[in-house]
Chains A and B, each alone.
Chain A
């Protein structure tokens, strides 16, 4: 061993080099030989080699925790006692939780619809204009900001200072109100409007995504189809209604469902801006609060499962639509 590690004479060094080269050749030769003769390896070894690591990680990182969470949702606070559907019953009957469910519904309906509509109109309007890239960059920029960052920025926008002499508003929105002579508002404190103000933040973040995807889809509409439509007699709005929108339907579905899924899981915005207080909590935030603040693991697990169950139909719809659009092509 020592002979291999310490070489003092030139001859010794050369001998080591030769050995190293030989070793390299043997290893490489072995690999090349193995690659060259795949027939000798049984199919199941190849399959296991490719699928094994993925399956292992999926089981450890996804399947096991999911099953464990579902199981936990039928147990009490500490996970010791089986209590059946009590956790779920509580989510659907308790006033506080009903507020949470209602808020989540509001988020999931409003954010995808408004965001997609805004993104679509914006993409259509700036398409092939002179300032297109600049206009798109402006809308796309919020995508680069983390949700926590966006939450902080918008909390400043909504910031409230009492309307007293010598006190200056530091919130953009309230300053504007004061400028036009309206009393400053407690935007984040008054329910149910405060949920809408939070939703605005999410729309601001996601509009860039919607606009980018839809813009690409609009550009993919063949020129001659647009020209044929112009000859057939469509006007500006009819072009949008009868040609543009139907042509990008698959992209619209993808954008709607993707944003819906992201919105269902919304947590950061609510957490940073109101912490889920003042009647603004949503399922993901509540699940975090229950599991890691109140240490009510059973209830937290039940909320997580609920979130999962709500996402499934959206994904199923998405997959179905993708299949359909592939058929059209």
Chain B
């Protein structure tokens, strides 16, 4: 187990295109770090540079205090789980898992012990003598993980390991990976484009865009205090709504009525002509269902509902709005960059499932203005970000992790007793 430090890592391809551009990132020992971003953002390339499958153009890659830029993959002692499992089709499950140990010339009974242990954890016991071709997708994925954990490597690297599984299995495997990582307390770097995985698995999440880091923070900080338009739009599903706004004193004029800002935020946005205000879907509510006590902290407005989607536990309403052409073009560019196809300017709002708001009619909505963010449309910067509050969220998450790791280790050594000493040696 080791920490991973990256200093000014650059990956430039033959044509001079920088796939990864000046990335500096510290991953603590035992931390679960997620690399996330739309396709082509360089997240997989970065992972492959950590593991040594891709050359590093410049910068330092330090694993466990040792610079590994020039080490071959096998000398870095990392294990990786691939998107397509990458199992050896001619070997049984047992031999697949045992392969790295066999290469290390480990004695037979030790190999057997470790593989059995790993197959217990991953519930592969009854499949050990089968070939990968006869396994289901989820089982193959577990074999790939088995091969990764028997090695007792310095770190685990996952390259979109769940994207070939169906939705239900993906959910199960996600919790399985999380449990395993907590139990083993091993440094993990996990690449995904799925933000559910990013939010649920990571201690910290690194959002990449065109080879550059946008923000590294705990999932909560990313959600509550995004650093710019890109991160705000990428994290969250359905995504954050962006409305054009013009400031007037402590008010923002938007297509959905005026939003009153507190002093601090009003000061931050002063001096700008045109702004984008970002409001998450759940900050809206059907006005008729809002508590009288809550009403004053937000504003109400009337708008025509285009479409509603009722999902049982929640309900979404789509409200079209008008925006200046420059804003429209910018929102279109942003959605394209986020791998989606936003065709019209509309707000997606989350309302209570019991709401009887109907399609094609006007309805009154309430908007919680306490948590809205205001962005500069030109630079994309978040003007109202509270860095301190954000840092506090990440600090809490780190504390949680360390506490958890200590507990897990205590439990582990109690349970295994003397066996730990053998496996460490």
Chain A residues within 8 Å of B, Cβ to Cβ: 222, 224-225, 227-235, 238, 242-243, 246-247, 249, 327-329
Collect the chain A residues with CB atoms within 8 Å of residue B361's CB.
none
B: number of interface residues (CB 8 Å): 26
From B71-79, B203-211, B274-282, B370-378, the one touching the partner chain is B71-79
Indicate whether B100 reaches chain A with its CB closer than 8 angstroms. yes
Indicate whether B145 reaches chain A with its CB closer than 8 angstroms. no
Indicate whether B104 reaches chain A with its CB closer than 8 angstroms. yes
Q: Is the CB of A328 within 8 A of B89?
A: yes
Interface string of B152-176 (1 = CB under 8 A from A): 0000000000000000000000000
Interface string of B69-92 (1 = CB under 8 A from A): 000111000111011101111110
Q: Is the CB of B74 within 8 A of A233?
A: yes
Q: Is the CB of B103 within 8 A of A233?
A: yes
A234 and B86 CA atoms in complex are apart in Å by 15
CB within 8 A of B73: which of A222, A230, A242, A329?
Answer: A230
Q: Is the CB of B80 within 8 A of A228?
A: yes
A317 and B195 CA atoms in complex are apart in Å by 52
Q: Is the CB of A328 within 8 A of B90?
A: yes
Collect the chain B residues with CB atoms within 8 Å of residue A225's CB.
86-89
Q: Is the CB of A230 within 8 A of B88?
A: no
Collect the chain A residues with CB atoms within 8 Å of residue B151's CB.
232
Known: A224-B86, A247-B89, A247-B90. A232 touches B133 (CB 8 A): no
CB within 8 A of B86: which of A222, A233, A328?
Answer: A222
CB within 8 A of B84: which of A222, A231, A235, A247?
Answer: A222
A308 CB to nearest chain B CB (Å): 34
Q: Is the CB of B90 within 8 A of A228?
A: no
Collect the chain A residues with CB atoms within 8 Å of residue B193's CB.
none
A51 and B104 CA atoms in complex are apart in Å by 59
Collect the chain A residues with CB atoms within 8 Å of residue B100's CB.
232-233
CB within 8 A of A231: which of B73, B89, B91?
Answer: B73
Instruction: Name A's interface SS.
Output: helix
A247 CB to nearest chain B CB (Å): 7
A225 and B83 CA atoms in complex are apart in Å by 11
Closest 9 CB pairs of A and B: A228-B86, A224-B86, A232-B100, A246-B90, A233-B74, A224-B82, A233-B103, A230-B73, A225-B86
How many A-B residue pairs have C-beta atoms within 8 angstroms? Tell me. 65
Q: Which among A225, A232, A233, A234 has the greatest number of chain B C-beta atoms within 10 A?
A: A232
CB within 8 A of B74: which of A231, A242, A249, A329?
Answer: A231
A328 and B90 CA atoms in complex are apart in Å by 8
Q: Is the CB of B147 within 8 A of A232?
A: yes
Q: Is the CB of A234 within 8 A of B84?
A: no
A245 nearest CB neighbor, chain B only:
B90
A243 nearest CB neighbor, chain B only:
B88
A232 and B51 CA atoms in complex are apart in Å by 11
Chain B residues within 8 Å of A, Cβ to Cβ: 51-53, 72-74, 78-80, 82-84, 86-91, 99-100, 103-104, 131, 133, 147, 151
B336 CB to nearest chain A CB (Å): 29
B51 nearest CB neighbor, chain A only:
A231
A327 and B89 CA atoms in complex are apart in Å by 11
A268 and B91 CA atoms in complex are apart in Å by 43
A239 CB to nearest chain B CB (Å): 10
A328 and B79 CA atoms in complex are apart in Å by 26
CB within 8 A of A230: which of B53, B89, B99?
Answer: B53
Collect the chain A residues with CB atoms within 8 Å of residue B99's CB.
229, 232, 242
A223 nearest CB neighbor, chain B only:
B86
B78 nearest CB neighbor, chain A only:
A231
Collect the chain A residues with CB atoms within 8 Å of residue B87's CB.
225, 228
Collect the chain B residues with CB atoms within 8 Å of residue A224's CB.
82-84, 86
Q: Which among A227, A231, A329 has the greatest number of chain B C-beta atoms within 10 A?
A: A231
A233 and B87 CA atoms in complex are apart in Å by 15
Collect the chain A residues with CB atoms within 8 Å of residue B91's CB.
246
Q: Is the CB of B74 within 8 A of A234?
A: yes
B89 CB to nearest chain A CB (Å): 6
CB within 8 A of A227: which of B53, B103, B104, B131?
Answer: B53
CB within 8 A of B104: which of A229, A233, A246?
Answer: A233
Collect the chain A residues with CB atoms within 8 Å of residue B104's CB.
233
Q: Is the CB of A228 within 8 A of B131?
A: no
B132 nearest CB neighbor, chain A only:
A328
Known: A238-B103, A328-B131, A328-B133. A231 touches B79 (CB 8 A): yes
A233 and B133 CA atoms in complex are apart in Å by 23
B75 nearest CB neighbor, chain A only:
A233
Q: Which among A224, A238, A243, A327 has the greatest number of chain B C-beta atoms within 10 A?
A: A224
Task: Jot down 22 A-B pairs with beta carbons below 8 A, ordered by A.
Answer: A222-B84, A222-B86, A224-B83, A225-B88, A228-B80, A228-B87, A228-B147, A229-B99, A230-B74, A231-B52, A231-B73, A232-B99, A232-B100, A232-B147, A232-B151, A233-B103, A246-B88, A246-B90, A247-B88, A247-B89, A249-B90, A329-B89
A243 and B84 CA atoms in complex are apart in Å by 17
Collect the chain A residues with CB atoms within 8 Å of residue B74's CB.
230-235
Q: Is the CB of B82 within 8 A of A228?
A: yes
Given A229-B88, A232-B74, A235-B74, 17 new contacts (CB under 8 A): A222-B84, A222-B86, A224-B83, A224-B84, A228-B147, A230-B73, A231-B80, A233-B100, A233-B103, A243-B88, A246-B90, A246-B91, A247-B88, A247-B89, A249-B90, A328-B131, A329-B89
A246 and B99 CA atoms in complex are apart in Å by 14
B91 nearest CB neighbor, chain A only:
A246
Known: A232-B147, A233-B103, A328-B131. A227 touches B90 (CB 8 A): no
